[in-house]
Amino acid sequence: MRIKVIPEPADRALLADVREALPLVPGSVEDCCTRIRDRTAIPARDEAREWLTFAEALGLAAETQRGFHRVRDPPADDALETAFVEHVFGVEELLDTLDESDEPLTRTTGFDGLRDSVPRWERNRYSDWESEWRDRVGRLLAWGVELGVFAETEGGYRRA
């Protein structure tokens, strides 16, 4: 499973807060989103849903037939990095683009490398899908820095 949802960049402390907000006993999506909204700096339910999905992709949350719950032991830093690469759509493509170039990756070159991978339904979902996906590339790069996948350098991003 690779998710396309990528919340606005933040730090690991907010990721930890989201994880801690989730119940140990599985709860419904609505319950989990309410808990995230009420117990973190995330102000809106829609944003809380994005964070819940992102937390699941990173291995901070899990879904069962009864709902979502936090994982008992948070994953190690290298496991977060691996989960980000393997479970968030666009990260592998950005790494491939970076590997094929001698230059640092920018939002523009990252988008150019990802462009052909954007599914048709995603293109049809937005009136200006290219702008939406350029922003998404920026969020992917920022999260990649926070999670140790990318390092920000003068002129762009490189592998960390």
Task: Quote the tokens at residue 63.
Answer: 């879904």
Q: Residue type for 91, please?
A: V
Per-residue pLDDT tens over the stretch 89-132 = 999 999 999 999 999 999 999 999 999 999 999 999 999 999 99
Return mean pLDDT, the chain. 96
Q: What is the pLDDT of residue 1?
A: 81
Closest CA to 6 of 152, 142, 112, 145: 142
Per-residue pLDDT tens over the stretch 34-64 = 999 999 999 999 999 999 999 999 999 999 9
Q: What is the pLDDT of residue 132?
A: 95
Q: What is the pLDDT of residue 83?
A: 98
How far is C-alpha 78 from the geometric centre of its chain's CA atoms?
15
What count of other Cβ atoms lies within 10 Å of the Cβ of residue 51? 29
Q: What is the pLDDT of residue 38?
A: 98
CATH class of residue range 12-70:
mainly alpha
Q: What is the pLDDT of residue 105?
A: 96
In sequence order, the 6+-apart residues with CB closer than 8 A to the CB of 6 are 50, 54, 88, 90, 136, 139, 140, 143
Residue spans of the domains in the chain: they are: 12-70, 77-159
Closest CA to 69 of 48, 88, 52: 52
Decide: 36 and 21 in contact? Cβ < 8 Å.
Answer: yes
State pTM to two decimals. 0.95
